[in-house]
Amino acid sequence: MPEGNEIHRWAERHTKAFVGKKLHVEAPGGRFADADAIDGKTLKKIHAVGKHLGYEFGPDAILHVHLGRYGDWTEGVGELLPVKGALRVRLSRQCAKKAGSSASPRSAQDDNGEASTTRHGWYSEDDGSTSLEPADVDWIELRGPSDCSLYDREQWKKLLGRLGPDALNGDDPEPAFAKIARSKTQIAALLMDQSVLSGIGNIYRAELLYRARLSPFLAGKDVPKTTVEAMWNDSIPLLKAGMVDRRIVTTLPKDRPHGEGKPLKPEVHYVYRRHGKPCWVCGTKVQRQEMAGRSLYWCPTCQAE
């Protein structure tokens, strides 16, 4: 599931590609009824807050997208492709609307002459990184989101009111610290609660706790404030690094078996999806357990209660 790093990465790329331009908006699958309301309008701004994206065409015309567990954007250059799969919405520069015309598609073609696309397979070998410059992107397609709908300003305001501070937006973290300090809920659950902190998902949750050497089972109120502050501060560079190429790397070179250099794929995390394998630091088997419907990973020695 995409976390805050991914959401902000899309916002940054799509801003470079589309903000200030008139866009053609279509929903060929018929599952986004309000496409017509923003079709042909100029995209003013893109908001990224936690795991939410907002494509603002006007104060009362904000395309809200939550990717959920399975949603993803595809980017493309040149001609629009025939509609494939469960396409929820497609945004394109008006000049890109030339499917079936004789206009020649622009750069980034593969050998078959088809416009290039990137389709990211979660946890596959393909890390989704692309050499495509955002300014060259002509169209984007959205598939599998948990929400794609048009918000007015009141709905957007309500959404913001429900979300905790987002480290990638430079928000003041104090409201989150205060909620954690009062809470009897386990810290691992609080980190995932978007009303406490927004943008942290399962990978960052597990890895931030490990890097703080903190037991996931401590109640929020029992975690020293300095530790909570340290995790917040730690999350900022980690989230920013995760915006670069869709990979989240949390291990320090000194803790990886191969040390310096680009980390090997199995060495990018301390505990996330490493259950049953030895902790890089102490050798104890990494554990996994369900917590609030999501798998939690931790090292019982480094993160002892």
Binding site for Zn ion (CB under 5 A): 279, 281-282, 284, 299, 301-302
Q: How far is the CB of 222 from Zn ion (least distance, A)?
A: 21
Name the nearest CA neighbour of 261 among 271, 273, 270, 251: 251
Q: Catalytic one among 9, 51, 143, 246?
A: 51
- Which is nearer to Zn ion, 264 or 304 (by Cβ)? 304
Q: Catalytic one among 3, 141, 207, 267?
A: 3
- Annotation says 273 is catalytic: no
- Annotation says 51 is catalytic: yes
Q: How far is the CB of 185 from Zn ion (least distance, A)?
A: 24
Q: Catalytic one among 28, 175, 294, 300?
A: 294
- DSSP state string for the chain: ---HHHHHHHHHHHHHHHTTSBEEEE-TTS--TTHHHHTTPBP-EEEEETTEEEEEEETTEEEEEE-TTT-EEEEE-SSPPPP-SSEEEEEEEGGG--TTSSPPP-S-B-TT-PBPEE---TTSS--------GGG--EEEEES-SEEEEE-HHHHHHHHHH----GGGT---HHHHHHHHH--SBHHHHHH-TTTSSS--HHHHHHHHHHTT--TTSBGGGS-HHHHHHHHHHHHHHHHHHHHHS------GGGSTT-SSSPPGGGS-SSTT-TTSBPTTT-PBPEEEEETTEEEEE-TTTT--
- Annotation says 2 is catalytic: yes
Q: How far is the CB of 12 from Zn ion (least distance, A)?
A: 35
Q: How far is the CB of 287 from Zn ion (least distance, A)?
A: 10
- Which is nearer to Zn ion, 41 or 285 (by Cβ)? 285
Q: How far is the CB of 275 from Zn ion (least distance, A)?
A: 13
- Annotation says 44 is catalytic: no
- Which is nearer to Zn ion, 7 or 299 (by Cβ)? 299
Tell me the residue nearest to Zn ion as measured from the CB.
279
The residues assigned a catalytic role are 2-3, 51, 294
